[in-house]
């Protein structure tokens, strides 16, 4: 006769759950680092001319044990733990239509000095990146990396149950960007990351004689009688002939070999991630789908005047600048139209991937909302829409969503609850309300943290937006939770995360977070033959972005590969 004890009861429950497909217990196994940064990291190499650095391989990084919630973890937990769930997080993919008239690259130079103490603002920063024409290829390369480890996560050896994008999937809220993102993650159809004239590049990077501006990188070199561009002359950027043609080449994406879900980000919901379609949509659409592209700012435009105009009348500013020698004629394209939140939601129901809608529900379609919940095994995932539709990059919640979240937390659908969103709690400080709209006060990050802390089934909040790896222990309330913030695909180091939840059979859980580099090699080797070669070049170029050379988006060691201990609910 088997003695009935609490531990045997728990174990028998786990076994029964495994049979029913709720939990999949696995025996304790050695960590398998292959395919992750546990085995190998990509790092900036020694500086060459202009400070330009190639990418070199570095050593792997083991999991750092963090004990803010469990100060004395059991030494034998690795021999007893049971896998609960494993999944992948992709964040801030920023699939960019780099030829769009609504891509305002000329704003970026106002942040170009990269000196300590420089004024920075989300209205101008990251408006241009030399490698942004390769964002679709980076997304495909990341999908391939996640597929390579999908069969067995490194610690629990569970298959990855799903993937979730935590926002800024498109860059400029455009229809074509949104479609490219959905089709790359889903696979099954050819993607052509091109717009406007399908026979040539039309944008800031080409060799157009009349609109040539040396502030931008021109991979084919400068036209006759024009100076060498600043990225090559000052920062050591290479010439890469044929890149603009290769970047527009159709390719067949691998597609994720698992269900994938999505969250709504400020770049999915606003032009440049700042300007809301609901108030500026008609005018912004006219620019985006039109045939005039601003290449350079007019002489004498100061940063102060620019910021004032962007904050008070951005559409008026753009319309006033669409004249003069700093503007070029490009091919119009209706597929560059700006989408509303409801339209972005709707696009996810046209997909070759699973599930149809990628988390968005019939209620989301009917109401134009973008928050929802789903259950995978013993975990309820609650996906928030933290975008403030009234404008600007940082986020907040409306009162209706806060009420919904409160109800979901109070009536849990599974043993554990994981929150996913685009913004971090620290970047949810946007209180803006608009005249004629919902005038109820917006709910900011501290209030959301306090709510989550009151519900012990909440074990983690996973998010993006910052483009930096960060992990915080949000202690307080009934217990607290881990907040896990993951870097982007667009800025170096161009990474995603694997998340594994394990039951240590001692009253604690371990949440393993492991960084994953996309599948491209260290060097493109002079070849532009496929998406992996192009993604490799993108990683190298991103590591040399002159505004990013003093940045550390990798985060600290304790923000990357980590074992996060927490008490079980």
pLDDT digits (tens, 9 = 90+) for 329-376: 999 999 999 999 999 999 999 999 999 999 999 999 999 999 999 999
Beta-carbon count within 10 A of 43 CB = 16
Q: Is residue 14 pLDDT above 70, yes or no?
A: no
- Give the model's confidence band at 8: pLDDT under 50 very low, under 70 low, under 90 confident, else very high: very low
The pLDDT tens digits for 402-414 are 999 999 999 999 9
Helix axes 135-149, 175-186, angle to 10 degrees: 20
3-state secondary structure of 284: helix
Nearest Cα residue to 149 out of 164, 135, 161: 161
d(C-alpha 165, C-alpha 219), whole Å: 31
Instruction: Record the pTM.
Output: 0.92
Buried b (16+ CB within 10 A) or exposed e, 184-221: bbbbeeebebbbbeeeebbbbbbbbeebbbbbbbbbbe
Q: Please, which residues have CB within 8 angstroms of residue 27's CB and are 6 or more apart in sequence?
A: none
- The pLDDT, as a whole number, for residue 176 is 98
Encoding tokens for residue 336?
């560059």
125: tokens are 């920063």
What average pLDDT score do residues 213-232 get?
96
pLDDT computed for residue 13 by the predictor: 36
Predicted local distance difference test score (pLDDT) of residue 312: 77
Instruction: Delineate the domains of the chain, giving CATH numbers in brackets.
Output: 40-55+65-96+106-118+127-197+251-273+339-567 (3.60.21.10)
Ramachandran region of residue 66, left (φ > 0), alpha (ψ -120 to 50) or beta?
beta
Q: How confident is the model at residue 111 (pLDDT cuts 50, 70, 90)?
A: confident
**116 confidence band (pLDDT: 50, 70, 90):** very low
pLDDT tens across 522-559, in order?
A: 999 999 999 999 999 999 999 999 999 888 999 999 99
What residues does 483 pair with on adjacent strands? 461, 472
What pLDDT is stored for residue 555 in this prediction?
97
Q: Looking only at Cα atoms, what is the longest distance across the chain?
A: 92
Flag whether pLDDT at 9 surpasses 60: no
Mean pLDDT of 62-69: 98
Percentage of the chain modeled with pLDDT above 90: 81
The pLDDT value recorded for residue 50 is 97
Average predicted confidence (pLDDT) for the chain: 91
The whole-number pLDDT of residue 311 equals: 76
For the segment 359-372, what is each residue's pLDDT rounded down to a tens digit? 999 999 999 999 99
pLDDT tens sequence across 127-186: 899 999 999 999 999 999 999 999 999 999 999 999 999 999 999 999 999 999 999 999
- Does 5 have pLDDT greater than 50? no
Which one-letter DSSP state was computed for residue 540? H
Q: What is the CB neighbour count within 10 angstroms for residue 473?
A: 16
Place 276 in a pLDDT band, splitting at 50, 70 and 90: confident
Predicted local confidence at residue 157, as pLDDT = 97
Give the pLDDT confidence score for residue 30 in this predicted structure: 84
Q: Which candidate, 549, 565, 418, places its Cα nearest to that of 87? A: 418
Query: What are the E-state strand segments in 77-198?
Result: 82-90, 163-166
* pLDDT for position 1: 31
Residue count of the chain, please give it.
Answer: 569
Closest to 381 (Cα-Cα) out of 425, 416, 422? 416
- Per-residue pLDDT at 26 exceeds 60: no
Confidence label for 39 from pLDDT (cuts 50, 70 and 90): very high
Question: 58 forms bridges with which residues in the sheet?
Answer: 41
Q: What pLDDT is recorded for position 3? A: 35
Q: Rounded distance, CA 454 to CA 476, Å?
A: 8
Q: What is the pLDDT of residues 469-520, one digit of tens each?
A: 999 999 999 999 999 999 999 999 999 999 999 999 999 999 999 999 999 9
pLDDT range class, residue 418, cuts 50, 70, 90: very high
Q: What is the pLDDT of residue 435?
A: 72
Torsion angle of the four alpha carbons 465, 317, 340, 333, in this order, in degrees rounded to the nearest 10 = -110
- pLDDT > 70: percent of the chain: 91
Task: List all residues 6 or more positions away from 413 whose beta carbon is below 8 Å from its beta carbon.
Answer: 373, 375, 380
> Which pLDDT band, with edges at 50, 70 and 90, does 297 fall under?
confident
At 281 the pLDDT is 65
CA end-to-end span of the chain, whole Å?
Answer: 31
Lowest-confidence range among 190-194, 270-274, 561-565? 270-274
Q: Which whole number is the average pLDDT over 246-269?
A: 98
| Residue among 203, 236, 209 at smallest CA distance from 222 | 209
Where residue 18 falls among pLDDT bands split at 50, 70, 90?
very low
132 and 452 in contact (C-beta within 8 Å)? Answer: no
What's the confidence (pLDDT) of residue 503? Answer: 98
């Amino acid at each position: 006769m088997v003695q009935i004890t609490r531990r045997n009861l728990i174990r028998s429950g786990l076994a029964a759950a495994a049979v029913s497909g709720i939990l999949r217990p696995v025996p304790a196994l050695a960590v398998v680092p292959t395919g992750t940064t546990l085995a190998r990291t990509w790092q900036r190499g020694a500086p060459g001319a202009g400070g330009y650095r190639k990418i070199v391989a570095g050593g792997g990084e083991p999991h750092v044990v963090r004990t803010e919630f469990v100060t004395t973890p059991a030494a034998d937990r690795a021999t007893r733990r049971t896998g609960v769930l494993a999944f992948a997080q992709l964040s801030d993919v920023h699939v960019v239509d780099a030829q769009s008239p609504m891509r305002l690259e000329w704003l970026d130079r106002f942040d170009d000095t990269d000196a300590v103490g420089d004024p920075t603002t989300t209205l101008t920063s990251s408006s241009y990146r030399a490698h942004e024409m390769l964002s679709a290829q980076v997304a495909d390369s990341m999908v391939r990396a996640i597929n390579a480890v999908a069969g067995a996560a490194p610690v629990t050896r569970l298959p990855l149950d799903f993937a979730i994008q935590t926002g800024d999937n498109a860059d400029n809220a455009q229809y074509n960007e949104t479609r490219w993102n959905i089709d790359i993650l889903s696979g099954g159809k050819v993607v052509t990351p091109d717009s406007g004239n399908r026979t040539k590049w039309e944008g800031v990077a080409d060799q157009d004689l009349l609109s040539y501006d040396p502030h931008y990188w021109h991979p084919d070199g400068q036209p006759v009688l024009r100076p060498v561009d600043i990225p090559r002359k000052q920062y050591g950027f290479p010439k890469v002939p044929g890149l603009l043609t290769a970047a527009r080449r159709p390719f067949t994406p691998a597609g994720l070999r698992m269900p994938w879900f999505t969250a709504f980000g400020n770049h999915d919901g606003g032009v440049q991630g700042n300007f809301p379609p609901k108030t500026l949509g008609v005018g912004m659409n006219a620019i985006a789908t039109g045939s005039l592209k601003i290449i350079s700012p007019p002489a004498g435009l100061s940063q102060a005047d620019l910021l004032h105009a962007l904050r008070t009348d951005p559409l008026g500013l753009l319309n006033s600048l669409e004249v003069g020698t700093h503007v070029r004629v490009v091919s119009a394209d209706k597929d560059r139209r700006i989408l509303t939140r409801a339209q972005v939601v709707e696009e996810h129901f046209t997909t070759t991937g699973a599930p149809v809608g990628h988390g968005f529900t019939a209620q989301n379609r009917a109401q134009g909302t973008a928050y929802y919940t789903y259950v995978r095994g013993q975990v309820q995932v609650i996906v928030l829409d933290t975008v403030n539709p009234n404008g600007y990059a940082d986020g907040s919640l409306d009162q209706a969503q806060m009420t919904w979240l409160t109800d979901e937390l109070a009536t849990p659908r599974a043993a554990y609850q994981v929150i996913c969103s685009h913004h971090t709690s620290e970047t949810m400080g946007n209180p803006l309300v608009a005249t004629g709209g919902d005038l109820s006060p917006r709910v900011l990050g501290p209030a959301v943290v306090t709510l989550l802390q009151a519900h012990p089934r909440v074990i983690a909040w996973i998010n993006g937006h910052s483009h930096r790896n960060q992990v915080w222990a949000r202690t307080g309330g009934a217990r607290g939770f881990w907040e896990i913030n993951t870097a982007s695909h667009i800025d170096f180091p161009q990474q995603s995360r694997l998340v594994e939840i394990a039951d240590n059979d001692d009253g604690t859980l371990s949440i393993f977070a492991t960084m994953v580099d996309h599948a491209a090699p260290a060097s493109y080797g002079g070849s532009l033959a496929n998406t992996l070669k192009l993604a490799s070049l993108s990683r190298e170029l991103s590591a040399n972005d002159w505004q990013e050379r003093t940045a550390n988006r990798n985060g600290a060691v304790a923000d990357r590969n980590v074992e996060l201990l927490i008490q079980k609910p």
